[in-house]
Amino acid sequence: MSNNWGVLKFIARRLLLGVVTLFIVSLVVFAATQLLPSDPAQAILGRDANAASTAALREKLGLDHTAFYQYTHWLKGMVTGDPGDSFNARQPILDYIGDRVVNSLFLLFLASVISIPLSLWLGGYCARKRDTTFDNVVSNAMLAVASLPEFVVGIILVLLLSVRVWHVLPAVSTIGIGQGPWSDMRGMILPTAVLVIGAVPYISRVVRASMIEVLESDYIEMARLKGAPESVVLRRHALPNALGPVFQVIALNIAYFAAGVIVVEALFNYPGIGGALRDAVRVRDIPVIQFLVMVLATVYVVTNLAADVATVLVTPRLRTRMQ
């Protein structure tokens, strides 16, 4: 059907845009790391290293080649799954980081699975109970919490639940190397809670606003004037129209986590990519920085793409416009 062809073209175009964006990001990231004021080889070996070993390291790291060569070499590695070695750990990045990526993804997954349904329900419920006491109290509370930076939320939770007031939850995660993150579920509680508490207030407010706009629309009034039972009004008339913005919101959610993960992992000593990134920045471990940044950027871009496509699929008006 001509419908589908148009949608496919849209998806293809959007995909292309995403790839181009990532490409440009990779250029920027690489260029930024090329602008080092000092020599990375020297930085690694220390000031007192002799010239020979510095030169040897330079050659090993490929620093003597042109920028263009270095970039393409790096890009090829990234895309084929061999991002090279970490400067600092002197081992292949994937060995070094692999576990941590899994740990972070698990944390993200847990947080998303809780926060997305929670935000949707809370936002929808507050929209229906608009201007009642419940809505007012919840909205104000959400506003306050949404303003707080995640690490502050984290510290407050630690102060309350871990260290000062009650002592129920561990303040530090104890996942060992080689074990899966699920080995210390108690240690997961606080980091997950911080991420969820960071995301839900903001996102539920967006959902609430979107729902209210839908509930105030003419077609909802018309449905009621046709004699529709309230449940049908919500399910058949309101929901499909509220979905579009919701996908954007879910993408926002995940994007939020991609950023929040850094601070949260630092706070709880959680062995994930956030912590790895922070450590890498500290010691200027360039390949690791480049790798992690590209991973996070890819997550960001892919979720936004998915959200845009989902929105179009769900909104008939946009879908048929593609013809």
Partner 1 sequence: MTDVATNVAVSISDLRIEVAGSGVDIVDEVNLTIAPGEVLGLVGESGSGKTTVGLAVLGHARRGVKLAYGDVMIGESAMLALGEGALRHARGTLVSYVPQDPSTALNPALRINKQLMEVLEFHDFGGSNAARKARVQEVMSEVLLPSTPEFLRRYPHQLSGGQQQRVGLAMAFACRPSVIVLDEPTTGLDVSTQAHVLTTVRQLCHAHNVAALYVTHDLAVVANLADRVAVMYAGRIIEQGTAKELFFNPAHPYTRHLIAAAPDMETHEMVGLRGRAPAPGRRPKGCSFALRCELATADCMAEFPAEREVAPGRVVRCIKPFEVPQRTDHVAVHSSPIAASATHALMVRDVCASYTGHQVVHNVDLYVDRGECLALVGESGSGKTTLSRSIGGLHREWTGEILLGSERLAPSARDRTTAQRLRIQYVFQNPYSSLQPRRTVGDSVARPLIIGGASKTEAARKVGEMLERVALTAGYANRFPDQLSGGERQRVAIARALVSRPEVLVCDEVTSALDVLVQASIVELLGELRRDLGLAMLFVTHNLPLVASIADQIAVLADGKLVEAGPTDRVLHFPEAEYTKRLIADTPQISDVTS
Partner 2 sequence: MTTVAPAPTTAVPDEPEIVSKRPPGVIRVAFRMWRTRVGMIIVTVLVLFALFGRYVAPYGEREAVGLPFKPRGETRKSTLFGSANVGHDVWTRFLYGGKPILVAAVAATALALVLGTLVGLVAAYNRGRLDDVLMRIMDVILALPQIITALIVISMFGATTKLIVLTVGLSTVPRIARVVRGAAVSVVERDFVSAAESLGESRFRILLSELLPNVSGALLVEANLRLTFSIGLISGIAFLGFTPDPGAANWGLMINENRKGLASNHWGVTWPVIAIALLTIGTGLVGDGFSRAAAGIDRAKGDS
Binding residues for partner 2, rule: CB under 8 A, are 21-22, 24-25, 28-29, 32-33, 35-37, 140, 143-144, 146-152, 155-156, 158-159, 163-164, 255, 258-259, 262-263, 266-267, 277-278, 280-282, 284, 289, 293, 296-297, 300-301
The residue ranges of DSSP E strands in 18-167, in sequence order, are: none
3-state helix, strand, coil in the chain (%, to 5): 80, 0, 20
The structure tokens listed for 136 are 């007012």
Instruction: For CA atoms 175, 181, 186, 188, give the dihedral sign.
Output: positive
When binding is defined by CB under 8 A, the residue of 228, 259, 313, 322 that contacts partner 1 is 228
Q: Is residue 191 within 8 Å of residue 264, measured between CB atoms?
A: yes
Tokens of 257: 């986590």
Q: Which of 139, 297, 315, 322 binds partner 1 (CB under 8 A)?
A: 315
For 41, the token pair is: 């080889």
Among 223, 286, 288, 294, binds partner 1 (CB under 8 A): 223
Does residue 5 interact with partner 1 by CB under 8 A? no
Given phi > 0 = left and psi -120 to 50 = alpha, else beta, which region is 85?
Answer: beta
For residue 310 the two structure tokens come to 């989902």
Q: Applying CB under 8 A, does 232 fall inside the site for partner 1?
A: yes
Return d(Cα 150, Cα 195) in angstroms, integer: 7
Within residues 203-222, the interface with partner 1 by CB under 8 A covers 216-219, 221-222
CB of 291 to partner 1, least distance (A): 43
Site for partner 1 (CB under 8 A): which residue of 60, 76, 226, 235? Answer: 226
Site track for partner 1 across 111-140, x = CB under 8 A = ------------------------------
Based on CB atoms, which residue is closest to partner 1, 34 or 132?
Answer: 132
82 three-class SS? coil
| CA atoms of 74 and 289, how far apart (whole Å) | 13
DSSP-assigned letter for residue 175: P
The single residue among 1, 227, 231, 282 that binds partner 1, judged by CB under 8 A, is: 227
Contact partner, 175, from partner 1, partner 2, none, Cβ < 5-8 Å per class: none
C-alpha to C-alpha distance for 249 and 210, rounded to whole angstroms = 10
151: number of CA atoms within 13 Å, CB side? 10
For 290: left if phi > 0, alpha if psi spans -120 to 50, otherwise beta; the answer is alpha
Whole-number Å distance between alpha carbons of 135 and 306: 31
Q: How far is the CB of 184 from partner 1 (least distance, A)?
A: 45
**What's the min distance (Å) between Cβ of 226 and partner 2?**
25
Residue 24 Cβ, how far from partner 2 at the closest point, in Å?
5
CB of 126 to partner 1, least distance (A): 17
Select from partner 2, partner 1, none the partner in contact with residue 156, using the beta carbon and a kind-dependent cut-off of 5 to 8 Å: partner 2
**In this complex, which beta carbon is closest to partner 2, that of residue 90 or of residue 282?**
282
**Which residues lie near partner 1 (CB under 8 A)?**
216-219, 221-229, 232, 236-237, 240-241, 315-317, 320
